[in-house]
Each structure stands twice: as C-alpha cells, then as structure tokens.
Structure 1
Amino acid sequence: MTRRIGSGKLVIATHNAGKLKEISALLAPYGVECISAGALGLPEPEETGTTFVENALIKARAAAQGSGIVSLADDSGLSVAALDGRPGVYTADWAERQWFEGEPGRDWYMAMGKVEGLLAQQGPDVDRSAAFHCTLALAWPDGEYAVYEGIAPGSLTWPPRGQLGFGYDPVFVPKGREQTFAEIDSAEKHTISHRADAFAKLVAEQFG
C-alpha cells in the first residue's frame, strides 16, 4: 500500500506562481493546503538530472528536507518529435535570456521562437507533432517517495495564439482540439493537460 499524504499542508516545490495556482486548483477538492517552496524561502536546487523523474525527485526531496513537510514537485517539459525529443528536460532553460538578450529571467516567446526556428530549418513538411510531459514526485522528510507520470499529445502551431496559460501553451494544440492550450479555459485545460493526466494517477492512489 502506497503511503498517503492525506489532507493538510503540502509544500509545492516551485517558485513559479502559475504552477502553484494550477496545482493548488487540482488538489483543492481533497482538502490539501498548498504552499510554495518560494513562499517558505527555500532555495531552488540545481536540477542536474537528465530525465523528468530525476529532476522532479531532486526538487521534491530538497523541499521536504528543507521544510520538514511532505512535498510535491512537478517537472514538466515539451518534447518535439522532429527535434529528437528536445527541448525535453531543458524546456525552461530554452527560455533563459543570455547576457545580450536583456534582463535576467525567462522569455517564453523567445523559447517558442527557438523551437519554431529549428522546425522551419527542416522545411514546410516537417513533422510538427509534440507532447507535453509531466512527472509528479512526492517526497516525505524521511526519504520515502512516489512518482506519477502524465502526457498530453498534440502538435505545434505558429504564430502563438491565446493569452491564457504559460510557457509554451500558446503554440501547443492538444490532440483532438483546434485551440491552443493558451486559448482553452483553465478549468477545461485541467481535464486534458499532461499535468491533469499525472494528477489523475496521483489522486487515484493517494485519495482513491
């Protein structure tokens, strides 16, 4: 029997307000109070893993050990078929500005442009299929952990469309839809996203 987190406080191992909001909404029905690692003043650990699972566990374990509270980390990324799965675990890194690109921080429009530029180099008939991946890692302060993985298949479009969502959402069209993730209402997105898929597995095991 997998250990259960139950209701109560859960540290979300992120400094991203958008991600905290989305995860909090998904867990709200189960009486879980989410607080971010950023709000607790915990540092962001260096993500040295080469897979989503490794990086999710690094973040979850660091938050659990730093807070003394069971923690949940999400490592998500976009894999593009024609780019051999890139950007993958480096999805966020592709949005990091270089010294000549302005103030430090992430520029998601720039990141989307990098992906599109690489696809354009392959010609108009390039395979535009892609998928968002989500790995959720739960870690307890005593070292126990659990991992849940989800996927949202789709394709890439250009130019970006929509004002909702974050990251690469404006260029990702989920399978069976015509709107991008950034054009789909957040409540609906919660039912079809890679994060929703992973959370469905977490909820079934933790609260089922």
Structure 2
Amino acid sequence: MPQGSNASRRSESSRRAILAATEELCRESGYRRLTIEAIAARAGVGKTTIYRWWPSKGAVVLELLDEAAVVGTAPPDTGDLAADLRSLLTEVIELSTPQDSAPGVGLVAEALQDPELGRELRERLIEPRIATFKQRLRRAQDTGELSPDADLDVALDLLYGPLYHRLALHLGMPDRAHLDALITHVLRALTPPPEHPPTP
C-alpha cells in the first residue's frame, strides 16, 4: 500500500474523481437517478471507497456544492454593493440551473424529506454563507453604502427569497435585467432617502 504523500495524493485523486463523476451524472440524468453505484463506476473506484468518506449520495453532492460555491464563502468587496450582491446571487442562479439536473436543486429537495441531510446542508453550506453575506452588509453599513439600521435578516430574505420562490414554483431563474431590478428595489427599501430640512 502506498504510504505518506503517495497515499494522500491517491486519496485526493480518488476524491476529485468521485466529485467530478457526481456532477457529471447529475447533469446528465438528474439527482433522482444518481446512485452510489453509478458514481463508483464513473469514477473508477469501489463503492466502499465512497462509503468510507460519505454516508450517502446526498453527502457527496453536499461536498460538491460546498466546493463549488466559492463566491459565497468570500463575497467580493469592490466598493459597489449592488455589483457584489449581483455576484453572490448569480452564483446561486448558476448552481440552480438547469433546474431539472442541477445538483443543488436535487439536494435541497431531498433535504426537505431528510432531517439529517437538512441539518448538514444548513450547518455546512447555508449558515457559513449567511454569515459572510452579513459581514459584507455590515461593511456596507460602516462605509455608508447601506443604512446603519437596515435589518440584515430582512435583507437576506428579500434578496434570496425570490430566487427560491421562483425555483420552487418552476418560474425560471431571473435574467440579468430582472436580477438588477431586484437588487435595486431591495437596496432602495433598505436605505431610505435622506430627510431634507423643511423649506422655509
């Protein structure tokens, strides 16, 4: 058996192959048809290798998404809050498209029926990204881009809620113009215009 760095390289190579196979199979046939057997065959590994690292196909897809959603873990801070929010929301849209074969869509659907998977999804993927989203908005408050009394929980719901609403009801993800309009309206609602002194 390989030892030391050779073993680590082999393990990492197998892990990457498994994640790549998982994404390919989801894109080809959808999450519902995904099986551990199919992943193993596509990746060229045994099922025992997969089960040694993940308890289920949902756990494999969760790791795949955790690595793919890189914008959400380190939101841009360009000084243009609207542009930075567009980058964050665009990543969600891309990970949810096309709806019938995107790995994230199938995972969220299964998590609604599997409390343990739902907990893992929330703790590993969702909550850390909510935290970084709020950090970006706090910086916007510090620099005056956003009202200091803006409710960041409400901001989260107003920005992300429409995406999942459209996803759940099969309305299609917003295009660039629709997304820009959403961001504009939300920021307008969260940052009231300055009060003007009464006209003498």
State the TM-score, normalizing by the size of structure 2: 0.30
Larger Rg: 2
State the TM-score, normalizing by the size of structure 1: 0.29
Greater helix share, structure number: 2
